[in-house]
Amino acid sequence: MKRVTEYLTALFRAHPTKGSYFTRGSSHDEFARYSEDSDTYKRVVDRIAKKFETAKKIIPPPQYTEQNHPSNFACIYFGTSEHASLEAMDILAADGLYVHGMRIKSFPFQEEVATFINRYDKVFVIEQNKMAQMRSLLINELEISPEKLIPVTHYDGTPVTAESILSQVNHHVFVPSN
């Protein structure tokens, strides 16, 4: 037990005048051998970044659902939110609010995802989780303004419905004026 305590104490030590700090953990080389060499670490991380760039060229592109009318609004959906998203878009169109859509099929994002987002004033990101993780990925990976991407989240354990999407979209589009 004493060795465990010494080990944990060493892990959580703080600098005597500057406070606690983080250090990089263990790493590996191209052959999965343990290494803490800085040059090796940088080489492996650069190699992973190159793989992401290559992946963008071969992964499935997004799928578009655009209305035959101009619009300032769009939505992004993915996975099992597709059918409810399309239904919500149809209901909005029947009410005269046209929303163009894009189904994301893969990550890392291709440049056309950013191009689609930049064409609209507001883009609703439809997700089935509380933390709006896809929205965060879009903001961080594509450097999109957070104000442009509106989270539409559904996280009560049931499948997302068009009604759930509509209530949140309507709240952002039809904001009562003061």
**pLDDT tens digit at each of 178 positions of the chain:** 555 555 545 555 566 676 665 555 557 888 888 888 889 989 988 988 899 899 999 999 999 998 789 999 999 999 999 999 999 999 999 999 999 999 999 999 999 999 999 999 999 999 999 999 999 999 999 999 999 999 999 999 999 999 999 999 998 887 555 5
- Domain annotation covers residue 74: yes
The partner residues of 123 in beta bridges, in order of sequence, read 74, 149
SS3 119: coil
Same domain, 142 and 126: yes
Residues 32 and 94 in one domain: no
9 within some domain: no
Q: How far is CA 58 from CA 75, 85, 103, 160, in A?
A: 24, 26, 17, 30
**Burial class for 107, CB neighbours closer than 10 Å (0-12, 13-18, 19+):** middle
Provide the domain limits for residue 36. 26-58
Examine the domain organization and report whether 78 and 149 are in the same domain: yes
pTM beyond 0.85, yes or no: no
Q: How many domains does the chain have?
A: 2
Please check whether residues 120 and 34 belong to one and the same domain: no
**What CATH number is associated with residue 127?**
3.40.50.920
DSSP-assigned letter for residue 110: P
Q: How far apart are CA 41 and CA 45, in angstroms?
A: 6
